[in-house]
Amino acid sequence: MPNAYISGTGFFAPPRVVTNDDLVKEYGIDTTHEWIVQRTGIEQRHFAEDGVGSADLGAEAARMALKNAGLEAHDLDMIIFATLSPEHCFPGSGVYLQQKLGLCDGPKAKFVPALDVRNQCSGFLYGLSTATAMVKSGASKHVLVVGGEVHSHALDLSTRGRMVACLFGDAAGAVVVSATDEDRGVRAWKLGADGRFADKLSQKVWDIRKMPFIPTNADGVGQVSAEAMWAQMDGKLVFRHAVERMVTVLMETCIEAGITGNDIDLFVFHQANLRINQYIQNEVLKLPDSKFIHNIQRYGNTTAATIPSLLHEAVETGRLKKGMKVACVAFGSGFTWGSAIIDW
């Protein structure tokens, strides 16, 4: 049975930077730079231009990951796209990404399967686990896993929506999961979910249970209430469950891998809130800063893109090298969570 390792990483953020002060000056949000930093650690984020979708960002990150893996798009056997912000209700972003990578064109057209994962902040780890299983089973040799988000187009950028609007940014991260006979790769993973809290972090822009699924006026034009159109979050409840679930799933995965937290060289936590991650680091794990990497200060919460973007940054800056042991952990809407231990 082959091992499944990450052969290449990639990342892309749109060029437009929006600082905390920009939220005040350009959008008129009643907040301050200090208030946002104190509660979230976020100083700025990137916003995509009108007309740019998650698959556009994902394609840029995917091309970089393929290049770093020494592969062409036609070497892929499967695409897994994790996002909470697809271009449309359907189809998913995976097929748009497949086309943007040129897999559908020319004499070398290769119609690889494209799977979309809708597990929000833990979506990348759900995708990574699926890719690992496909490679280890022998069903695939190279699987592209992308986490891509365009949040800014669906944020209530007003004082009414400030509790959520300040948190999110746009970006995409990608990895190629490949087969190898070397003694390395994804060693263990754990996933979980608790649907009892599904409504505590949600965006119910339409409700397919209802007829019509979007209320319409006399002219048949859809009208969505603000409560359904914008994301809603019970922040205190999310914080509490995030700490509990992230710590638990990390410990469970370490036990499965036969290691302890002290054996891990680098912790890659989902970037939802710097204060959550620091609390786990300092109050629970009690480990030094040298074992943790963060980029939420510069990009905000990019949901499914946070972990692959951190992996890419760690490789590019030399913090992550072959032979190191990495722990990836995420928690998000659903509630869903996951963890993976990787021998890099």
Tell me the C-alpha distance between 51 and 31, whole Å.
Answer: 28
* The one-letter amino acid at 243: V
pLDDT tens, residue by residue, 111-124:
999 999 999 999 99
Instruction: Tell whether the model's pLDDT for residue 228 goes beyond 90.
Output: no
Q: How confident is the model at residue 225 (pLDDT cuts 50, 70, 90)?
A: confident
Q: What angle do CA 53, 54, 56 make, to 5 degrees?
A: 70
Quick one: DSSP state of residue 281? I
Q: How confident is the model at residue 227 (pLDDT cuts 50, 70, 90)?
A: confident
User: Average pLDDT, stretch 304-317?
Assistant: 98
Nearest to 245 by CA among 149, 120, 334: 334
Paired tokens of 240: 């509490």
Q: How confident is the model at residue 269 (pLDDT cuts 50, 70, 90)?
A: very high
Catalytic residues: 121, 270, 301
User: Average pLDDT, stretch 235-254?
Assistant: 93
Tell me the C-alpha distance between 36 and 20, whole Å.
Answer: 7
pLDDT at 85: 95
Q: How are beta strands 325-332 and 266-269 bridged, if at all?
A: parallel
pLDDT at 232: 87
Tell me the C-alpha distance between 170 and 19, whole Å.
Answer: 13
Residue count of the chain: 344
Structural domains in the chain plus CATH codes: 3-182 (3.40.47.10), 186-199+230-343 (3.40.47.10)
Tell me the C-alpha distance between 6 and 146, whole Å.
Answer: 12
CB of 306 closer than 8 Å to CB of 83 = no
Q: 263 vs 106, 117, 260, 267, 336, CA distance in Å?
A: 48, 31, 5, 11, 26
Paired tokens of 262: 């002290």
User: Average pLDDT, stretch 15-27?
Assistant: 97
Is residue 242 within a helix (H) or strand (E), and if so which, with residue range? Answer: helix 235-257
181 dihedral zone (left: phi>0; alpha: psi -120 to 50; beta): alpha
Instruction: Tell whether the model's pLDDT for residue 49 goes beyond 90.
Output: yes
